[in-house]
């Protein structure tokens, strides 16, 4: 195959991967002039209807998704008996290779990579596609760390029926045994929750360097998926937070109703582990059977327990009365010079400020990011609720600024206006649009971005590179400053610094130099610096000629002027042969100047000269 040209367009260069039903080659697209990956169905399966159907299904699934974290499909076709799919070429390695090289991946990197995997899975699910074979071998990582999910070879459109393939051992489950879900191990229909289970297995392996279930045979591994609970990742690696462990354990639930129901839900909990590493926020939904058992348990309580419950209720009522009296006492105490601090965590900022105002306590407000509280909601307060403070004591409220993270879309190929609109509501604090000349795309098209697509901190600077419109730089020399400014602005350029300079023949306040040469192509928005002529100074000259006698050849002659104001200037400096020379002097000041003459640095003459 190496060297073959497929469909007269794709030049096969090298093998980059092999699978059960296809071989993946690196190829060069002669039309688009770019490197691509081309997946070719193995010749021995060309006559197998089931494999041809799987290959076609991959092409159909890939055509329905387009996402920055999914390997994009460019073309699908047939050249004689050769069936192929042309895809984006990712220059990097698989996640499996990355784990093998490093042993395991540090939790921070694993977290961010998994969020990108979940973004790809979420996009597929929203387009009606269940991948069914999420595993590190099908996740590509390029040299910049970008994550791409690949291989929709056994993907299922949610509207279609599950297709099972008999293996050599007679198994009928789809996917790879170490990564598939319990329901796949039982031969049941896989759905979105099955993909999330597989993502959980991938993350387990990324963090610990090993899969949660292993065995000597595929059957033994499949049984463990169905019957055994995974061990805590913290048993294998101390650096894994309790929160991360809890998220992965929920993703690995045997009962898919207790797993995360969507990729977005799992990603939200993963982001929360950054600010809440101690965990405790992962909530499991209760199914109807558990809720029904709880209701039945309450109904079957023994009469003695119910009486005990009534006695407990009486005690609680008494306690509540005591608390009410205590609160009343605090209130009365507050009336006479003390104020009771209200509980404000979880309240809107406006409500909390009103409560403090009513209590007679001034407020100071600080903001902080929070993955738990919505923007504008109080996260914490500096004084404990119920505390009695002197009236006028300040209470500091920390108010949520919302999540620290925002989703950075892939704006490359879109318009500048679309990127501006998307980023305007993202919360990103530092967004810059820069412009370059690019004749390959239309003006106003985004051609680059930093950082890449995915979840990013709002503190990270965002740079969007746009194909800008260029103009021929006009000649500004001789124009007044106002005229030059008007012309530059009309051309879509910007005025930069304006400095003053001298010109013997230019009128005052006219342009004598510009930083961008006339006729040069300049992007709109380019800054142009100008030099403007000053009004000519009035100069004063000696009332009589000033001469210097040089007694020997090659002496360095230096003449300095000391003005009436005390300022000293270098008036003349030259190496001269022997002779008598007329030195032309001038000064911006009138009056008597002291003229000092030096020969080779030695003072030889001083004279008082009147300038007029």
- Average pLDDT value for residue range 299-326: 48
52, pLDDT greater than 80 = no
Q: Give CA torsion, residues 496, 500, 504, 507, to 10 deg.
A: 70
Helix (H) or strand (E) holding 275: helix 263-275
Residue that wins the pLDDT comparison between 386 and 256: 256
Q: Which residues pair with 521 in a beta bridge?
A: 472
Q: What is the pLDDT of residue 299?
A: 56
User: What is the CA 117 to chain-centroid distance, rounded?
Assistant: 15
Q: Please choose, from the candidates 35, 30, 27, 26, the residue with its C-alpha nearest in 3D space to the C-alpha of residue 8.
A: 30
Q: CA 499, 500, 506 angle in degrees (round to 5)?
A: 130
Helices (H), 360-450: 416-424
Catalytic hit among 48, 91, 133, 553: 133
Helix (H) or strand (E) holding 200: helix 192-208
Helix (H) and strand (E) counts for the chain? 13, 32
Query: What are the C-alpha distances in Å from 125 to residues 111, 112, 118, 519, 607?
Result: 21, 20, 10, 54, 96
Task: Give me the residue label for tokens 């990582």.
Answer: 141
Q: What is the pLDDT of residue 186?
A: 87
- Average pLDDT value for residue range 264-272: 93
Q: What percent of the chain has pLDDT above 90? A: 41
117, pLDDT greater than 80 = yes
Query: What are the C-alpha distances in Å from 367 to residues 24, 378, 401, 458?
Result: 51, 9, 6, 14
133 is catalytic: yes
Q: Please choose, from the candidates 426, 420, 421, 425, the residue with its C-alpha nearest in 3D space to the C-alpha of residue 464.
A: 420
Q: How confident is the model at residue 291 (pLDDT cuts 50, 70, 90)?
A: low
Q: What is the pLDDT of residue 263?
A: 92
Q: What is the pLDDT of residue 455?
A: 78
**H/E/C letters for each residue in 451-520?**
CCCEEEECCCCEEEEEECCEEECCCCCCCEHHHHHHHHHHCCCEEEEEEEECCCCCCCCEEEEECCCCCC
**Residue 247: Cβ within 10 Å count:** 26
- The number of C-alpha atoms within 13 Å of 77 and in the hemisphere containing its C-beta is 12
- What is the C-alpha to C-alpha distance for residues 508 and 442, in angstroms, rounded to an integer? 43
85, pLDDT greater than 70 = yes
- Average pLDDT value for residue range 441-457: 87
- The CB-based long-range contact list for 327-332 (8 Å cut-off, 24+ gap) reads 330/386, 330/388
3-class SS of residue 88: strand
Q: How confident is the model at residue 337 (pLDDT cuts 50, 70, 90)?
A: low
Mean of all residue pLDDT scores within the chain:
83
- What is the C-alpha to C-alpha distance for residues 11 and 36, in angstroms, rounded to an integer? 10
Of 77-81, 121-125, 294-298, the poorest mean pLDDT is in 294-298
The encoded tokens of residue 387 equal 């505390």
CB 348 within 8 A of CB 376: yes
Q: What is the pLDDT of residue 403?
A: 82
- What is the C-alpha to C-alpha distance for residues 31 and 38, in angstroms, rounded to an integer? 15
Residue 233: phi, psi to the nearest 5?
-65, -25
- pLDDT tens track for 356-397: 988 889 999 999 888 778 889 998 999 988 888 887 899 999
Residue 52: Cβ-neighbour burial (10 angstroms; 0-12, 13-18, 19+): middle
Query: What are the C-alpha distances in Å from 335 to residues 322, 327, 328, 363?
Result: 20, 12, 11, 19
Q: What is the pLDDT of residue 362?
A: 92
Angle of helix 192-208 relative to helix 95-102, nearest 10 degrees, comes to 20
């Amino acid at each position: 195959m190496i060297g073959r040209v497929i469909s007269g367009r794709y030049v096969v260069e090298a093998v980059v991967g092999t699978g059960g039903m296809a071989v993946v080659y690196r190829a060069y697209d002669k039309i688009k002039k770019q490197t691509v990956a081309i997946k070719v169905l193995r010749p021995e399966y060309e006559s197998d209807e089931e494999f041809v159907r799987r290959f076609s299904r991959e092409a159909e699934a890939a055509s329905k998704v387009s996402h920055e974290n999914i390997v994009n499909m460019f073309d699908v076709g047939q050249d004689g008996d050769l069936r192929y799919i042309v895809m984006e070429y990712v220059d990097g390695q698989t996640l499996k290779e990355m784990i093998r090289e490093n042993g395991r991946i540090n939790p921070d990197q694993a977290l961010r990579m998994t969020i990108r995997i979940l973004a790809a899975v979420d996009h597929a699910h929203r387009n009606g596609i269940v991948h069914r074979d999420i595993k590190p071998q099908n996740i590509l990582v390029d040299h910049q760390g970008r994550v791409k999910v690949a291989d929709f070879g056994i993907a299922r459109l949610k509207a279609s029926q599950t297709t099972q393939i008999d293996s050599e051992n007679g198994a009928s489950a789809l996917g790879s045994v170490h990564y598939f879900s319990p329901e796949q191990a039982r031969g049941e229909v896989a759905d979105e929750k099955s993909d999330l289970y597989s993502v959980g297995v991938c993350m387990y392996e990324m963090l610990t360097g090993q899969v949660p279930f292993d065995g000597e045979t595929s059957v033994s591994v499949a049984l463990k998926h169905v019957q055994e609970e995974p061990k805590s990742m913290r048993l294998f690696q101390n650096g894994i937070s309790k929160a991360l462990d809890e998220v992965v354990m929920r993703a690995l639930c045997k009962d898919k109703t207790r797993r995360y129901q969507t990729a977005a839900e799992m990603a939200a909990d993963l982001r929360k582990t950054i600010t809440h590493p101690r965990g405790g926020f992962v909530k499991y939904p209760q199914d109807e059977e558990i809720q029904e058992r709880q209701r039945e348990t309450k109904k079957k309580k023994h009469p003695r327990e119910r009486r005990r419950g009534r006695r407990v209720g009486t005690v609680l009522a008494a306690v509540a009365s005591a608390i009410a009296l205590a609160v009343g006492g605090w209130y009365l105490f507050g009336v006479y010079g003390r104020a009771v601090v209200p509980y404000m965590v979880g309240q809107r900022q406006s409500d909390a400020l009103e409560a403090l105002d009513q209590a007679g306590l001034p407020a100071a407000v600080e903001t902080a990011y929070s993955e738990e509280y919505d923007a504008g909601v109080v996260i914490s307060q500096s004084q404990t609720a119920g505390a009695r403070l002197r009236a006028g004591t300040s209470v500091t409220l920390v108010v949520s600024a919302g999540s620290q993270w925002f989703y950075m879309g892939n704006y490359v190929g879109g318009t500048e206006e679309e990127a501006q609109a998307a980023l305007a509501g993202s919360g990103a604090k530092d967004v810059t649009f820069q412009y370059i000349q690019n004749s390959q795309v239309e003006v106003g098209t985004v051609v680059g971005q930093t950082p890449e697509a995915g979840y990013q901190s709002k503190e990270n600077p965002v740079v969007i590179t746009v194909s800008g419109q260029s103009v021929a730089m006009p000649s500004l020399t001789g124009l007044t400053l106002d005229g030059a400014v008007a012309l530059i602005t009309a051309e879509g350029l910007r005025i930069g610094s304006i400095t003053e300079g001298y010109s013997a023949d230019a009128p005052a306040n006219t342009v004598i130099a510009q930083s961008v040469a006339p006729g040069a192509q300049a992007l709109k928005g380019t800054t142009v610096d100008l030099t403007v002529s000053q009004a000519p100074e009035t100069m004063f000259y000696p009332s009589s000629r000033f001469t210097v006698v040089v007694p020997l050849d090659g002496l360095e002659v230096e003449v300095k002027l000391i003005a009436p104001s005390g300022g000293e200037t270098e008036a003349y400096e030259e190496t001269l042969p022997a002779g008598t020379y007329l030195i032309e002097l001038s000064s911006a000041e009138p009056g008597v100047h002291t003229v000092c003459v030096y020969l080779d640095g030695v003072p030889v003459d001083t004279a008082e000269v009147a300038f007029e």
